[in-house]
Structure 1
Amino acid sequence: MGRKNKINRPPQLAKAKTQRNLTPAQRELEELVDKLLRLSTIPQQQNVLKSLENQKEISNITERVKTLEIGRDAKNSVDNRATSATVDNFMKWALENGAKLNGCSIQEFEGYELGIKADVDIEQSTLVIAVPRKLMMSVESAKQSILKELIEKDKILSSMPNVTLAIFLLLEKFKGDSFWKSYIDILPKVYTTVLFFSVEELEELKGSPTLELALRQIKSISRQYAYFYKLFATSDDPVSKLMRNRFTYNEYCWAVSTVMTRQNTVPFQEDYHALIPLWDMCNHTNGTISTAYNPVLDRSECLALKNFKAGEQLFIFYGSRSNADLFVHNGFVYEDNDYDVYWMRLGISKSDPLQEKRNRLLDKLSISSTSDFSIRKGAKPIDGQLLAFLRIFNMNEDQLDHWITSDKSGDLEYIDCALDTALETKSWCFLQARLKLLLSTYKTTLEEDEKLIAEARVSSNRLLAIKMRATEKRIIRETLEYVEQYTKH
């Protein structure tokens, strides 16, 4: 959530410690936060194993921080979001404020916690959920609250709407008498986002490109926590006074996870970043986007993406997102994901004697000399840019000279481009070897992963990581089968 390498320290964070009477535990906590800020500000390592070592240091600090903050974690919402009283209070609040839930109800579903159940047969394109703008917890709402002044002053809050929403959510949670209390009560109490993974659970992703994404996300949120802890501890504005003794690492990770898993951008005038109560109870499936903003009625409307039978769970489509994205930001893996991709990094070596010519040809095609290329799930896994890179990577000097001067260099992105047979075979064999190498970097085979998934004897986080790496291996294997037809010549 948010990618910023530079820490924007407001003037008050640069001051010497104020004359506060701190207990030994408070003093230790402040020293740990200082150390956490330093560690999490170090630029991300190019070597993922070094990044993992950096995460171990961060984790050691945050575990101690959580221990010291146990007494500060808030107790401002219900313990069980799924009780009938909690659901009834939420629905009463939503309906009284103009929301619509047509032919459906909130129910528990195995493997999903809460979701939306069709109580009657629902036809495709039927309006099922409508949520007026006044119910949405948005950045606009935050700017109309006591957070307004701090948003205007603080560079992080003013430039990162997702962070603003997380802080605003905590403010409303800590207030106790929030307009959104019924909504906050029905939010998940725990999440399976990577923010709640131990180092040991993250290590299940060794060999996976998703590990780097996960480590970057955790590091960013750790940095944000340390930044805001220090801001609230040293400022006297109304927000800091309310947050000072309530803001904790656990609470911030919870708020960030809520925003990551539920935030939506509503096209109201400008992009309108918001949490949308009721609509965000829907779980994900393959399909098409079936939610839109109705400017006449000033509300978000959700239509059924297909026919649903009475008793079935009503799903929506979250968008064409990879499992790596869903894993890091939503805390789940969708194994039948039609839009899944595997990211493979390739680059031209600086020691390559033909580096300059390869880069010139790549520039003509707007391809970087070092890029992350996507391999798609499905019958045609290789896109044009990856295909062109493979060919350019394997060309000799004469071939490079020809294509650099050619006005048809874009043809290199097409599968049926007229090329020397030896070059074409060499390019596909290179990809084949690279894919086999990528499979070998995992510490388990796909068959071993599938057995672990079937047995389900490990922690939920560990199981999720195993599912994540298994989906990657399936894409690599399917791509290898596809590549074989071009290497048999």
Structure 2
Amino acid sequence: MPYHAAEIWCAARDRGGENGLCRSVIAGTPPDCGTWRSAPAPAALDATRRSERQASSRSRLRSGSLCSRIPAGIAAGCLFFSLVGHLAPNFLTRGSGCRAVGISSASRFHAERVVHLAAHSAAADSSRLAKEELSVDRASGAGLWPAMFEWVTGTGMDTSDIAVEVAPVDLAPGELGLIAKVPLEPGDVLVWAPTSLLLSKPQAVAVWGDLVGELSERIALALLLIHERFVRAEESTWSTYVRSLPRFDGDVSGPSFLWSDEELEELQGSDGYGAAVQMYNTILDDFVSLNATLFAGHPDQFGPSVFTLENFCWASAVVASRAYGDDNEGTFLCIAPLVDFLNHRAGALQLTRFGNGIVAYAHKHYEVGDQVWVSYGGKSNAELLSQYGFVDVDNAEEAVYLRVGEHLVLDEPFAEKKLQLLGELLGEGSDPRFGIFKLTRRPRDWEAQLLPALRTLALSLEDSVPSTVREMVPTQRPRLEAAAYALLEAALDRRAAEYPASLEEDRRKLSQGGLEERQALALRLRISEQELIALVKTYAVDRRYALESLKGDSN
């Protein structure tokens, strides 16, 4: 099934060596340099602050392949929402994320490594003045749809099935979406884009040939966007479409990996903090590599005044939030103009790719003037914010992560045996010392893996040590089951302690209003995650109480 581009790209996670440092980058650096930051692991957080926070928390359709927007840079677990655990060897689940947990501003520090890209900075200002084209007024959408419709019609595309138009929507300031022009029924075509209109790596190869042949589809697509916007400009086949794209300069909130250092501080404690940091770090690594090889070797085709870090970040954000691929490796990654204006709603249909293009179908009845939707796939709010720049307050796919050693405590007795059993549970190649477990709203989604881990960690001198973790899969005696849920409660308390404020405090601050858009988004993410933690804790407490009442019957 096709996936969204973002999930495709953070394919590597750097833990930073034996000291547990997680290499990270904060967005907002000037276009002439990139700065890597090292973030101490949560274990290095101030113990007093952690215990205070813990104490506070205790007191309070059709045939064709499906396309889904993939979160870029997230691997399950640490969150390291990567795709299928590419970010961390101890992660196995798809669509999770990358997280460098609740790190206080005092404990984060700049790494010494700073890459100066002098050649690019020298001409950056002049390039923006010389090549920047006019963009649309996203707040009003004035003239956007007539120009867009005239453009697609001029390409020879059959527009008879298009029953929507692009217009501003009330999701957030500057956001655009697709609005129904006629009543629509389930199965009706909303919008489609023919293969000839797609932006993809083959289009980049047509421009640069073998120079980009070995690049990933994500990077090739980002370079193509820069070329079409800044080099070809009004001569580009996609000029009308490119003018409609967000600039991420204040016109929309944008993916959180483009937020400034101060804005990212609002994400402290959430899984979205590490996701944003890791994604920016990946982009910066990509740019540094390109600058030292492709750009340096072919300045006539990749001019330093155009292929700047600033422009590469813009293009990478467009790819992250708008591109689609056929699998989690980014196969046939592309941007589908018009189709990419569809916003996300859980329960809607995913896109379908046919041999001649990408199609979106209605999943329900729509009246004239209704916004129509597509599903980006099951994404947590940390993924949605880091990739797209929004939070779904009713997100049924919300998730948080618990980590061995930080939330799930590994103690004697039988510590070595417990590690061995955890390694067996997590799978070959995983490091149980850094095991990561996903929690969602539905216990059935996480109990199958987490409960055997909790039972293993809860083993005491009263228990016989199993020879294989398979023995820990069935329900155990009430005493051990109750101890397992007690461990879960303690782990959730530790996880909740990483937020800079309690759930009640965050709710109060959000309700008072007067916040910048990105501040409000960060609070909504923190609230959503803390509500999930509270929900799972209530479930764990209820289970423990029920099991403790059975202890007398069977130990």
TM more than 0.5: yes
Deviation at 1:294, TM superposition (A): 2.0
**Aligned with 1:436: secondary structure?**
helix
Q: What is the 5 A alignment of 1:289-438?
A: 289-295=349-355, 298-347=356-405, 352=412, 354-367=414-427, 368=430, 369=432, 370-378=434-442, 380=444, 382-396=446-460, 399=463, 401=465, 403-404=466-467, 409-410=469-470, 412-413=472-473, 417-438=474-495
CA 1:165–1:291: 2 relative to 1, 3 Å: same
Pick closer, same or farther for the CA change 1:246–1:201 going to 2, 3 Å.
same
In the alignment, does 2:261 pair up with 1:205?
no
- Structure 1 unaligned blocks of 5 or more: 8-28, 153-157
TM-score, normalised with respect to structure 2: 0.72
Shift of residue 418, structure 1, vs aligned partner: 3.7
CA positional deviation for 1:196? 2.6
CA distance in 1, matches of 2:218, 2:374: 22
| 1:393 Cα offset (Å) | 0.7
Question: In the alignment, which of 3, 10, 15 is matched to residue 3 of structure 1?
Answer: 10
Any idea what SS the aligned residue of 1:396 has?
Answer: coil
Please report how far the alpha carbon of residue 238 of structure 1 lies from its aligned counterpart in structure 2 after TM superposition.
4.0
Check 1:288–1:388 CA distance in 2 against 1; reply closer, same or farther (3 A cut).
Answer: farther
Which amino acid counterpart does residue 120 of structure 1 have in structure 2? V
Superposed counterparts of 1:48-127, under 5 Å: 48=100, 49=103, 53-54=108-109, 69-73=124-128, 75-82=131-138, 83-97=141-155, 98-100=157-159, 101-112=161-172, 113-127=175-189
CA change 1:69–1:141 in 2 (3 A) is: closer
Q: Which residue of 2 aligns with 1:164?
A: 220
Q: In 2 relative to 1, CA 400–301 (structure 1 residues): closer, same or farther, beyond 3 Å?
A: farther
Instruction: Mark the CA change 1:92 to 1:266 in structure 2 (over 3 Å): closer, same or farther.
Output: farther
3-state SS of 1:271 partner:
coil
Partner SS, residue 478 of structure 1: helix
> 1:143 corresponds to which residue?
205
Deviations 1:16-70 (A, max 9, x none): xxxxxxxxxxxxx99x64xx3xx53x887545449973468889989xx989844
- After superposition, the CA RMSD in angstroms is 3.2
Q: 1:239 deviation in Å? A: 2.1
* Pairs aligned (count): 441
Counterpart-to-counterpart distance in 2, 1:376 and 1:218? 26
Which consecutive residues of structure 2, in runs of 5 or more, have no partner in the other structure?
1-5, 15-29, 43-99, 549-555
Instruction: Give 1:309 deviation, angstroms.
Output: 1.4
Which residue of the other structure, out of 518, 521, 525, is the alignment partner of 1:468? 525
3-state SS of 1:383 partner: helix
- Report the AA paired with residue 73 of structure 1: R
Maintained 8 Å contact 1:99/1:129: no
Cα distance in 1, alignment partners of residues 154 and 506 from structure 2: 48
Name the structure with the higher helix share.
1
Distance 1:350 1:477 in 2: 23
Question: After superposition, what is the alpha-carbon deviation per residue over 1:118-169, rounded to whole angstroms, capped at 9, x for unaligned?
Answer: 12211011112121101000112111212x23213xxxxx242212111111
The match for 1:17 is: none
Which residue is 2:515 aligned to?
Answer: 458
Q: Name the SS of the counterpart of 1:335 in structure 2.
A: coil
CA contact (8 A) 2:257 2:387 kept: no
CA distance in 2, matches of 1:57, 1:441: 26
Instruction: Report the residue type matching 1:308 in the other structure.
Output: Y
Q: Is the 8 A contact 1:55 1:199 kept in 2?
A: no
